[in-house]
Chain A
Amino acid sequence: MADPMRIRAQVAGDKATVRVLMAHEMETGQRKDAAGKTIPAWHIQDVTAQHNGKTVMTAQWGPAVSKNPFLQFNVKGAKVGDKITVSWVDNKGEKRSDEATVS
């Protein structure tokens, strides 16, 4: 399984700012290795964010998202103690899901 994500969710007024740092290679499929062979694409395709179990955002990513992707979004009405869950699936079918508590 892939390395855990780092998720930080902080209350700012009536919303919470969520910052996520995922650990993923995000290979574009454009680069070539030393032997001149194309390195196959390997990137996160689907991202889902949940607030207390309710999906608030989904995303589809292409290979143009940077290595070890960063994502920031604001959840309206989130309070201290709420749970934020972020999960992703890559094009090889690997998955990762992590949870953080709003502080």
Chain B
Amino acid sequence: MQNRREMLSRSAQVAAMLVAVGLVPGWAQAQAAGYNSAAFAAKTLPELMKSLGAGAPAESKDVSVTGPDIAENGAVVPIGAATALPGVKRLLILVEKNPAMLAAIFDVTDAIEANLSTRVKMGQSSDVYAVAMMNDGKVLFARKEVKVTLGGCGG
């Protein structure tokens, strides 16, 4: 049997829990609408795919990644991701040996070609991936090794 005082303190606890559960996600959303910080913290490919809610990726010839064979400066490595397949939802650029794999997510629409270029930082020589997430749930990728020479260790 609960007395009135206990009831009051319980409901205060419940209210505090509701605030904690309800407001913290709201605050995170307000900071950057839809920014997937879990994906940008992922260190391995399976971890990353899980955080994006995607299945295991398959290597495909229809996706291409462009970049230099040898990058002189790891701070500025031009990388392109492209695919000729229709129905692309997202393109990702990943650098395998960076502290966090994911460099960029591009949500493309039909109004642009699935062919994007940007520049990324690379901590060391590593494989670079272009991942295409399709509308039908398939995840396809291509990879390329990029050697980084800057660092004074002779690459």
Contacts and interface: CB of A to CB of B under 8 A. Distances in A.
A38 interface: no
A29 B113 CA distance: 32
A46 B35 contact: yes
A60 B76 CA distance: 18
Contact of A59 (B31, B98, B107): B107
A57 B112 contact: yes
A59 B109 contact: no
A65 B111 contact: no
- Give the interface residue-count category, chain A: 20 to 34
Interface in B103-129: 103-113, 115-122
Given A30-B99, A57-B109, A72 B118 contact: yes
B111 A75 contact: yes
Nearest to A41: B40
Contact of B111 (A61, A64, A77): A77
Given A45-B35, A66-B119, A72-B117, A58 B107 contact: yes
Ranked nearest first, the 6 interchain pairs of A and B with the lowest CB-CB distance are: A64-B103, A66-B119, A56-B111, A72-B117, A62-B40, A74-B113
Interface of A: 15, 26, 28, 30, 45-46, 49, 51, 54-67, 69-77, 89, 91, 93
8 contacts: A30-B99, A57-B111, A58-B106, A70-B118, A72-B117, A73-B117, A74-B113, A74-B115
